[in-house]
Chains A and B, each alone.
Chain A
Amino acid sequence: MSQAGPVNILNGIELVIRQGEAVGLVGPSGSGKSTMLMVMTGLERPTSGKVTVKSQVLSNFSEDEAARFRRGNVGIVFQSFHLIPTMTALENVAVPLELALIPNAFDKAKEELIAVGLGHRLDHYPSQLSGGEQQRVALARAIAPRPSLLFADEPTGNLDGRTGAEIIEMMFKLQRERGSTLILVTHDEALAQRCDRIVKLRDGYIESIEDGPHHAEEAPAEAAVVAVAE
């Protein structure tokens, strides 16, 4: 809501994302990419319309219900990492596992950090890690509870080209290995081309939905996310 009155950020969106799919959300600044990500993860509620994730209507959830739903179902990687500065890398990764009441949270967290190549940095605080390392911790944290949905919001925005590429490689690899659904918000057309489908947004509308060059025809899987904005 602005002072001038309500502003519709997303309009007339109808999007179905299948389980295991990698979807790139692209568009210029202000096109509604991040808002769509927030709505799909239950961090923001649409004023109208409906978001269904894994057959559950997320848009009807209260804040706490949405939080409980995210445990084990949703992992998010942010552009600015958003690690808790007073916790070590290991503790940061363990937090979602603990919240999801997954047994042996610390052992699992350690495995995840080793998987992203940070086995030697377990007890370091975020301030003691480089940007690339911090983002790897954030990635480990996002995938640790084995969520069926992985969201990434400009994950390379704060990293140099080479480090960013490494993170992307790692993310796609883990997504494929675990069969998660990936929704990747990016400015980078080339990066988006690595996804199965590319959704282009402009002024809150879906401008186009295209198959990516690596798209392989498979039998349609169950819908993972259905977003309908009226």
Chain B
Amino acid sequence: MRHIAVALRLARRELRRGLSGFRIFLACLILGVASIAGVGSLSEALLQGLSRQGQHLLGGDVEVRLTQRELGKKEREWLAANGKVSMVAELRAMAIAQGHDARALVELKAVDFAYPLFGVADVSPRQPLSELFANREGVFGAAVDERLLAKLGIPEGGIVKIGSALFSLRAVVRQEPDRVAGGFTLGPRVLISEFALRATGLVQPGSLINYNYRVALPRGIASRERVTQWVDSLNAAFPQAGWQVRDRWNAAPGVRRFIEQAGAFLILVGLTALVVGGVGIGSAVKAYLDRRRDDIATLKCVGASGRFIFFMFLAEVMALAVIGVAVGLVLGAMLPIMAQFALARILPFEAEFGLYWTPIGAAAAFGLVTALAFAIWPLARAMETSPAVMFRDLVAPTRRLPRPAYIVATVAAFSLLAALALLLTPNLRFAAGFAVGVAAAFLLLRATAWGMMWLARHVPRPRFMMARLALSNIYRPGAPTPAVILSLGLGLTLLAAIALTDANIRRRMQEEIPAEAPSFFLVDIQPDQAKPLAALVRGAKGVTELDMVPMVRGRIVKLKDIPADKAVVARESKWALNGDRGITYGNPEGARKQVVEGQWWPENYKVGRDGPALVSFATDLAKGLGLKVGDMITVNVLGRDIALKIANLRNVDFSNARMNFIMIVSPGVLETAPHSHLATARISIDREDDVERLVTNKFPNVSVVRVREALETANDLIQQLAGGIRAASFVTLLTGLLVLAGALAAGHRHRLFDAVVLKVMGATKGQVMTTYLIEFAALGAGAGFVAAIVGTTAAWAVARFLMESTFAPSMSTLIAVVLGGAVAAMALGIAATWTALSTPAARTLRTA
């Protein structure tokens, strides 16, 4: 114990020397810790903002959401008696400009006079909504997204026809308090009154309309507990309602989930930066201890034990790590404040800035454990330094593994790091995959470095002197090979994985899906319109295919007799229980061919006579929900519970933008429920406008969704996301370059010496440079090769398991990234060794 106190005292004395030699160490730690603390604080600030502004975002304390039906009289009365109610209806529709032939799919939102219960709907020019929406000489008023004016080519005040009603676009929507961004919208917003909606004729049985009833609760019901009680009593009063109820603490579950997942992913990217930085930390500690070899020997000569040396330098290193972590935390905590200016424009709500101790604590733990994990090894080797080095100038350092206890300590520290990563990310499977990926890349790169050093030592010595020197630079004691291969390799691997994933998504969105997908989705076709519309479309020029099925919306309420909200299901399958899903009783093209388990029902199957109502279910989802052929599920369609037996499972590819149904029900079950039809059509590109005009002129209530435009919208969204991920991976790359620079700097003395001796013997700068080029090219090729393999594997895994899509590696992307990265690293290497080339020989010879 007393020895530890002495070791700490000596470590404190050592610290008086300042930070020289530890700049890369500190920079790596600061970057990694700052990115983790920053991303964590930012996502916490966003989540807090979401919670705090839940009332505004939801539009009430509680929202009751219904699809395809409005509240019944009793339900409405119950709500009105227990709070203040506002109704908002949302649907998609076609807006057709009057006067000239332009049309666009719009997201229609019809509101009552109580809207909004919380916050302010801001329109320009500013006016009361009642005035804006008023019917003036048969024309209603509407406020629209500015993009619609541009799309239709009409000015403010222009007239459009929606369904069978006329609307004057009297104002532009500046802010809707209840609009949560991040949601996927297919068209610009059109805000109208509930009365106007009824005049459009779009409200038909089976039309795809979401009715959202927001309730402002009386003052006494404010706590979460009271609100939950309120919701429970509502559900108890109407057990068969089939609605979805949300409270203000869960205002935007999609956005919340997105922030949590994006935050977790970016933290993992930050952690990669920290692990890459760890290589730099390890190198810096090793280089420092190499420089202190004589001092360590001296301490041993005067009686210090190996353990004493270990603790003394560990204390010094960890004290420096605390400084680095502290600086990183301060920078990280400041990131949300800096980001708010950039985010203010895209976020529909305000982030709640403050000091969040959880992400800060997590980042601090990551930083300190990383420093410890990478420092133990070099420290444990340094403690073995023999005092004999004082008397013998050994050129080659003692090559010994640390003692077993220290190897165990290193493994324990790395395990702790992995455990922390798993503990702090919500998606365990993804985090585990990520951790395994990083560990595999790390080990593979370390093995590559070892293999290259072994090979360089054992290949026949080339006669070409420059190549020989380059080879010996790769394996000599203290060679930067492991650090260069690791830092460059991990950076390039991450870059390659991200670039390949990005390229794969682009390929899917721009080539594969458009080739498979239909041109149009035709939505909200009324049953009596099905036949004439089919005839019209089939008869139109350029139409090669039309597939039409009836569709109802229904929510899964029970899985094998267990209420859906109590069932234990896989995280990635939860979405299927969160709201209404489309169900068909038709026979969509190719559905039978998708069956992988069980049997399709016979042609003339009759419910009751031949057996229970049957359903064909999507395989992956069935697995996630714990369902198999023969199990029962209950679906609520428009307030009616329907029990269905799973007859078969189908492989459904949700990524192909075709008509995909999770559930297809056997005939004779849903025919009497109010429903509409959904159709897909394949049309030659030059005829798309004509067919759209033809359909919407004849059937103004039918919405035409252009798949290509929808894909472009989705692609834009993905590109914005990809931008964020690229920014985060830049931190890793920057850390990699820092480590690389550090590794090269550590070998600088050797290089300088070699360069000078060669120059003395008549070598020109060009020849010395050739040596370095050969060395860096070999290292770059080694790191690039591994990065290409691991990066491609990672991108494949992301495509296969996370996105469940096909994967085709883009060779051009791979070559560009790996070659570009390796060349950039070589350039950095040459730049770093330039001083070695340019230093006058005489100066070095005098000091050597």
A→B interface (CB under 8 Å): 34, 38, 41, 43-44, 63-64, 67-72, 74, 76, 78, 80, 82-87, 91, 94-96, 98-100, 106, 125-127, 141
Asked if B82 CB lies within 8 Å of chain A CBs, one says no
Asked if B611 CB lies within 8 Å of chain A CBs, one says no
Hey, which chain B residues are within 8 Å of A74, CB to CB? 762
Across the interface, A78 reaches (CB within 8 A) one of B396, B763, B845, namely B845
List 12 contacting pairs A-B, 8 Å CB cutoff, sorted by A. Answer: A34-B846, A44-B842, A64-B764, A64-B765, A68-B762, A78-B845, A82-B760, A83-B757, A84-B472, A84-B758, A99-B767, A100-B762
**A38 with B842: CB separation less than 8 A:** yes
Which of under 10, 10 to 19, 20 to 34, or 35 or more describes the interface residues of B?
20 to 34
Asked if B459 CB lies within 8 Å of chain A CBs, one says no
Cα-based distance from A74 to B841 in the complex (angstroms): 15
Bitwise interface map of B from 460 to 498 toward A, beta carbon under 8 Å scored 1, else 0: 010101001100110110000000000000000000000
Cα-based distance from A70 to B840 in the complex (angstroms): 15
Cα-based distance from A69 to B759 in the complex (angstroms): 11
Hey, which chain B residues are within 8 Å of A71, CB to CB? 761-762
**B764 with A67: CB separation less than 8 A:** yes
Cα-based distance from A106 to B463 in the complex (angstroms): 9
**A91 with B765: CB separation less than 8 A:** no
Smallest CB-CB A-B distances: 8 pairs: A71-B762, A86-B472, A127-B395, A44-B842, A96-B761, A86-B476, A64-B764, A70-B762
**B395 with A82: CB separation less than 8 A:** no
Asked if B183 CB lies within 8 Å of chain A CBs, one says no
**B473 with A86: CB separation less than 8 A:** yes
Contact A82:B763 (CB < 8 A) given known A43-B840, A44-B840, A127-B395: no
Q: Apart from A72-B762, A84-B757, A87-B468, what 6 extra A-B contacts exist at CB < 8 Å?
A: A82-B760, A85-B476, A86-B473, A95-B465, A99-B758, A141-B761
CB distance from A198 to the nearest CB of B (A): 24
Hey, which chain B residues are within 8 Å of A100, CB to CB? 762
Hey, which chain A residues are within 8 Å of B765, CB to CB? 63-64
Hey, which chain A residues are within 8 Å of B395, CB to CB? 85, 125-127
CB contacts between A and B, total, < 8 Å: 81
**B465 with A127: CB separation less than 8 A:** no
Hey, which chain B residues are within 8 Å of A83, CB to CB? 757
CB distance from B466 to the nearest CB of A (A): 9
Hey, which chain B residues are within 8 Å of A94, CB to CB? 465
**A80 with B760: CB separation less than 8 A:** no
Cα-based distance from A51 to B679 in the complex (angstroms): 94
Hey, which chain A residues are within 8 Å of B469, CB to CB? 84, 86-87
Hey, which chain A residues are within 8 Å of B762, CB to CB? 67-72, 74, 96, 99-100
Hey, which chain B residues are within 8 Å of A99, CB to CB? 465, 758, 761-763, 767
**A68 with B473: CB separation less than 8 A:** no
**A127 with B845: CB separation less than 8 A:** no
B→A interface (CB under 8 Å): 394-396, 461, 463, 465, 468-469, 472-473, 475-476, 753-754, 756-767, 840-842, 845-846, 848
Hey, which chain B residues are within 8 Å of A141, CB to CB? 761
Cα-based distance from A94 to B469 in the complex (angstroms): 12
**B476 with A82: CB separation less than 8 A:** no
Interface centre among B468, B473, B757, B758 (most CB of A within 10 A): B757
Cα-based distance from A216 to B763 in the complex (angstroms): 37
Cα-based distance from A96 to B761 in the complex (angstroms): 5
**B759 with A67: CB separation less than 8 A:** yes
CB distance from B396 to the nearest CB of A (A): 6
Hey, which chain A residues are within 8 Å of B764, CB to CB? 64, 67-68
CB distance from B671 to the nearest CB of A (A): 85
Hey, which chain B residues are within 8 Å of A69, CB to CB? 762
Hey, which chain A residues are within 8 Å of B757, CB to CB? 82-84
Cα-based distance from A129 to B465 in the complex (angstroms): 22
Across the interface, B842 reaches (CB within 8 A) one of A43, A70, A82, namely A43
Cα-based distance from A76 to B758 in the complex (angstroms): 12
Cα-based distance from A44 to B765 in the complex (angstroms): 15
Cα-based distance from A96 to B758 in the complex (angstroms): 8
**A70 with B761: CB separation less than 8 A:** yes
Hey, which chain A residues are within 8 Å of B758, CB to CB? 84, 95, 99
Hey, which chain B residues are within 8 Å of A96, CB to CB? 761-762
Cα-based distance from A72 to B761 in the complex (angstroms): 9
Hey, which chain A residues are within 8 Å of B766, CB to CB? 64
Cα-based distance from A72 to B473 in the complex (angstroms): 26
CB distance from A1 to the nearest CB of B (A): 12
Hey, which chain B residues are within 8 Å of A125, CB to CB? 395
Hey, which chain B residues are within 8 Å of A78, CB to CB? 845
CB distance from A217 to the nearest CB of B (A): 35
Of chain B, the residue at the smallest CB distance from A142 is B761
Of chain A, the residue at the smallest CB distance from B765 is A64
Hey, which chain B residues are within 8 Å of A76, CB to CB? 760
Of chain A, the residue at the smallest CB distance from B759 is A67
Cα-based distance from A38 to B765 in the complex (angstroms): 18
**B845 with A91: CB separation less than 8 A:** no
**A70 with B465: CB separation less than 8 A:** no
Of chain A, the residue at the smallest CB distance from B473 is A86
Cα-based distance from A86 to B479 in the complex (angstroms): 11
Of chain A, the residue at the smallest CB distance from B395 is A127
Cα-based distance from A83 to B765 in the complex (angstroms): 19
Of chain B, the residue at the smallest CB distance from A41 is B760
Cα-based distance from A76 to B848 in the complex (angstroms): 15
**B842 with A127: CB separation less than 8 A:** no
**B461 with A82: CB separation less than 8 A:** no
Hey, which chain A residues are within 8 Å of B760, CB to CB? 41, 43, 70, 76, 82
Of chain A, the residue at the smallest CB distance from B837 is A63
Of chain A, the residue at the smallest CB distance from B466 is A98
Cα-based distance from A32 to B753 in the complex (angstroms): 23
Of chain A, the residue at the smallest CB distance from B468 is A91
Across the interface, A98 reaches (CB within 8 A) one of B465, B475, B476, B753, namely B465
Of chain A, the residue at the smallest CB distance from B846 is A34
Cα-based distance from A226 to B840 in the complex (angstroms): 23
Cα-based distance from A34 to B760 in the complex (angstroms): 14
CB distance from A136 to the nearest CB of B (A): 17
Hey, which chain A residues are within 8 Å of B472, CB to CB? 84, 86-87
Of chain B, the residue at the smallest CB distance from A144 is B761
Cα-based distance from A94 to B394 in the complex (angstroms): 25
Across the interface, A67 reaches (CB within 8 A) one of B394, B473, B763, B845, namely B763
Cα-based distance from A84 to B463 in the complex (angstroms): 16
Interface centre among B473, B756, B761, B766 (most CB of A within 10 A): B761
Cα-based distance from A96 to B760 in the complex (angstroms): 9
Of chain B, the residue at the smallest CB distance from A72 is B762
CB distance from A179 to the nearest CB of B (A): 21
Of chain B, the residue at the smallest CB distance from A92 is B757
**B759 with A82: CB separation less than 8 A:** no
Interface centre among B396, B840, B842 (most CB of A within 10 A): B842
Cα-based distance from A68 to B840 in the complex (angstroms): 15
Hey, which chain A residues are within 8 Å of B842, CB to CB? 38, 43-44
Cα-based distance from A142 to B753 in the complex (angstroms): 17
Interface centre among A69, A72, A127 (most CB of B within 10 A): A127
CB distance from A211 to the nearest CB of B (A): 30
CB distance from A101 to the nearest CB of B (A): 10
Hey, which chain B residues are within 8 Å of A38, CB to CB? 842, 845
Hey, which chain A residues are within 8 Å of B753, CB to CB? 82
Of chain B, the residue at the smallest CB distance from A90 is B461
Cα-based distance from A80 to B846 in the complex (angstroms): 10
CB distance from A58 to the nearest CB of B (A): 13
Interface centre among B469, B762, B846 (most CB of A within 10 A): B762
Interface centre among B753, B759, B767 (most CB of A within 10 A): B759
CB distance from A97 to the nearest CB of B (A): 9
Cα-based distance from A205 to B758 in the complex (angstroms): 31
Cα-based distance from A210 to B767 in the complex (angstroms): 42
CB distance from B515 to the nearest CB of A (A): 57
